[in-house]
Amino acid sequence: MVNLGKKVIYQIYPKSFYDSNGDGIGDIPGIIKKLDYIKKLNVDMIWFNPFFVSPQHDNGYDIADYYKIDPRFGTMADFDELVAKLKKINVGVMLDMVFNHCSTDNEWFQKALAGDKKYQKFFYLRKAKADGSLPTNWQSKFGGPAWAKFGDTDYYYLHLYDPTQADLDWHNPELRKAVYKVVNFWRSKGIQGFRFDVINVTGKAQKLVDSTGPDQEKSLYTDTPVVHKYLKEMNANTFGKDPNSITVGEMSSTTIKNSIEYSKPSEHELSMVFNFHHLKVDYKNGEKWTKTPFDFMKLKELFTQWQEKMDQGGGWNALFWNNHDQPIALNRFGDPGKYRIKSAEMLATAIHLMRGTPYIYMGEELGMVNPDYSSMKDYVDVESLNAFKELKKKGMTAKEAFEIIQTKSRDNSRTPMHWDASKYAGFSKVKPWLMPKKQDKINVQEELRHGEIFNYYQKLIKLRKNEPLVSDGHIKMFLKNDPQILAYERFLENKNDKLLVFTNFYGKKHIVQLPEKYQNKHVQVIISNYKQTNLSLNERLTLRPYEALAVKIS
């Protein structure tokens, strides 16, 4: 059984990591060329976003062939070489499995279009209502209705995402077998890590009905009881046969109760879950495409609930601030200008010392920030382009709509990795698919020579591997009403030692009133992003701007 508490996972967006052949797109040979850097990171596993054959309408999350590497990323031989070389440096591979939907270019969908009844049952095909309207009033998450015409038939097919991403019907045992076959193919190549994209929206009902509004609509296809049945079955037929497998489910709008069941070892479903509630605290009235400061007290409340209740229920969290679908956390919760370094380190401390398995998104360890593009022409993300049109339709000026895109676009995190300060950031010799920005100040070369963020991440990773309070400890939040500080205690059963973690989420000094039980104890500083001299825990503790401090008390 894997000790998930000792693991740290690094996420690489292959399209943006390193371009080895001068076509402006990152590729697998490019990742191989950067193995020295990956070795320096000291992580245990790399989650790769999809590099399977795809028309790239949604950056590879529209898979046309689950068994083949897209030629723009390399060959199967390149992939095998990457896996073998990563194994030599003790780094595992986690592949991204997209099974809620497939590309309309996929053989399954194409056979269905051609009239093959077997494959038509792989999809949600429904006729229009008697009045000629769409089968249901559901909306796509990328904007517009969630139904599109199925060729020249009387049917429509369901697509919760882009029209080129047709939802797969998991009620069909033949579809499920086909999905498990894909997982087992990659297992046969030695892969023991799998990330399952939006896996908890696979549980739609057989009879699809109209919704009464956006929130109720989600409940019709999200976190339904049948998802647990599917996951148990997939576990038994695929990765559950590997004692060293590590799996994570991306769970859209999930609940703690469901997430405990998804990730509790005795349930035999997944190793852990991604939830996104903490990344919605800068959504005005729950709407992503808005611009508003983050709600710190809400953030604290969510961390408290998810950390404490998942611990009490025996579930396991994937810990993260950043990924390919999120604008950069440093811009959202830190200060990318005046306190870029300190706030990057503070944010890292806040989650790396929590209970769970931390994920680092490429560039995060350099303190990379949003690119702040100057025009809509700079963006390529389908969701952002659709949102810009929708915001203008709602009456916003182009300037107002653009400012929101700048803040919330997924392209913010998809910019190429900054290797050096050159024109294309050392990522490519030609103009990349997405332009790098601010590489003159933030890049690998500069960070490894003179920076402190990368080294700070190294200290956090070392702590997770060597300190049982971090890897195995329980968690309890304190200072719950403090308007500026997120603080928690890590503790082990029947042990006196405790780890206290303090993180100041603002650029101003703050004095905290320490609970009496933590006062006048023997103190050992475990990690801090400021120099600590003669620290003692008395009645009051002063934290500097964006300070992170972890101390062991006994």
Report the C-alpha gap between 219 and 443 in whole angstroms. 43
Distance CA 495, CA 469 (A): 10
Whole-angstrom distance, CA of residue 352 vs CA of residue 8: 9
The per-residue b/e assignment along 70-83, b for 16 or more CB within 10 angstroms, e otherwise, is bebbbeeebbeebb
Question: Which is the catalytic residue, given 44, 78, 169, 197?
Answer: 197
Q: What distances in angstroms separate CA 22 from CA 10, 337, 438, one per listed residue?
A: 25, 33, 21
Please indicate whether residue 197 is annotated as part of the active site: yes
CA-CA distance, 470 to 460, in Å (whole number)? Answer: 10
Cβ neighbors of 440 (< 8 A, separation 6 or more) are: 421
Beta bridge partners, 553, equal: 498, 523
- Note whether 345 and 373 are within 8 A (CB): no
Measured CA to CA, the distance from residue 489 to residue 498 in angstroms comes to 7
Question: What is the four-CA torsion angle of 71, 76, 82, 85, rounded to 10 degrees?
Answer: -150
Q: Which residue has the tokens 């605290």?
A: 281
**Nearest alpha carbon to residue 222 among 256, 259, 254:** 254
450 touches 443 (CB < 8 A) = no
Q: What angle do CA 152, 389, 219 make, to 5 degrees?
A: 70
Q: How far apart are CA 158 and CA 163, in angstroms?
A: 8
| Cα angle, residue 95 at apex, residues 89 and 101 outer, rounded to 5° | 175
Q: Do 27 and 74 touch, CB atoms closer than 8 A? A: yes
Residue 202 to residue 223: CA distance in whole angstroms: 8
Catalytic residue among 27, 250, 311, 381: 250
223 is catalytic: no
Determine contact, residues 9/358, Cβ cutoff 8 Å: yes
3-state secondary structure of 435: coil
Residues 6+ apart with CB under 8 A from 469: 490, 491, 492, 497, 498, 499, 552
Q: Which residues pair with 524 in a beta bridge?
A: 552
Alpha carbons within 13 A on the beta-carbon side of 187: 20
- Cross-strand bridge partners of residue 157: 125, 148
According to DSSP, the residues that pair with 540 across neighbouring strands are 513
Indicate which residues carry an active-site annotation: 197, 250
